Amino acid sequence: MAGGCMSGMFGRRTDQVRLFAYPGQSNMTGRRLPLSWPAEIRASPQTDSANTFILLDAAALATTAPLNNVFRNPATAPDFTCVSFYKIFGFPDLGGLIIRKNPATMRILASRRYFGGGSVDMVTVLGDDAFHAKKTINLHSSLEDGTLPFHSIIALGTAIDTHEKLFGSMAQISSHTAALVRELYTGLTSLRHSNGLPVARIYNEQSAMYGDARTQGAAIALNIQRPDGSIIAPSAVETAANAAHIYLRSGSLCNPGGAAAYLEWSGAGLRQLYAEGLRCGAPSEIHAGKPVGLVRASLGTMSILADVEAFVTFLREQYVDCMADCGAVPEAMSYDSSTKLDFGDSEKHAPQAVDVENQAGWSLFRCCL
């Protein structure tokens, strides 16, 4: 992190408690930010290290990357790291908070002003003697408000063991998905209209290198453009892909700031769209000639090269040199939801379950958990 950026972020030293939070991986573009930032922030002369805390949001990063290096050295580790186990395994629906134990983090966590059942040793609300005593036997007991999801906690061990048995180490998964996203990027950038204009308009920073797991995760944010440069509505691309049994996500991708920046929407422009009736979760369309959302293609542990090739082929057949009705679903690809399947042949007709955030489809009948 450049010194000027650090100075602008933290300014002069004060006794004020500060929290610097950043994502290890963008949930929109897949860009990965440096894991060296916690150490750089603590070493900066502009930082009061005793009162500055770093939170790493590793929810997206941990799905296809090992976190060993993050925690190997406590001196350079984030103070707080959050992960999502459901994003990694699909089940159970748990998250985790990993805390760097030192006097500063213990002090800041002990100063919280609220509590819930299970995190106190005594509570009284009678008369003038009202008080509560927080649990002090260990840190996690003082933070675990309410009844713990003990069934999910028990299942987590099985999820970890099964995941490793099926797919190997997170380092292997990282190499696998990095290779896949490099192939996807190569395939997308090879698609051109007859006039030379790219079919896919890809959004990311120049520092992100597809195939380099240090700077880029297994996701690509894009929009599809016609030969004249106009953008096809992201929701139309998602609908057509769904009909081809390719599962994407479209919209602002729970990242309104990033979407506005890449799509060049001002705050005033978004306020105007809101006044006209646009709401979060609505189909992502074109307004004033510009898209209000993007398409994200994500690859995961179970993705294979054939998935990449199928998506690139779909885009080539559907959108190269297409001007009118590019977003329409071809009749041959239309899906009749009333179709009845004979589940006697489970291998042939196995329904597909999809984690639209980070995973490809897999057969429910082959699920091992």
Q: Which residues are catalytic?
A: 254
271 by Cβ neighbours in 10 Å (0-12 / 13-18 / 19+) ranks as: exposed
Give one DSSP letter per residue of 183-234, joined into a string: HHHHHHHH-B-TTS-BSEEEE--TT--TT-TTTB-SEEEEEEB-TTSPBPPH
Amino acid letter, 208? A
E strand spans, 131-197 = 131-134
Q: Which two tokens stand for residue 292?
A: 């209000």
CA–CA gap between residue 240 and residue 225 (Å, rounded): 15
**Which DSSP category does 31 fall into?**
B
Q: What is the 3-state secondary structure (H, E, C) of 237-258?
A: HHHHHHHCCCCCEEECCCCHHH
229 by Cβ neighbours in 10 Å (0-12 / 13-18 / 19+) ranks as: exposed
Bridge partners, 84 (sequence order): 95
Cβ pair 301, 251 in contact under 8 A:
no
Sequence-separated (6 or more) residues with CB below 8 Å from residue 198: 189, 191, 192, 225
Amino acid letter, 8? G
Alpha helices in 291-357 (DSSP H): 305-319, 346-349
Bridge partners, 223 (sequence order): 201
Amino acid letter, 344? G
> Closest by alpha carbon to 226, among 191, 259, 251?
191
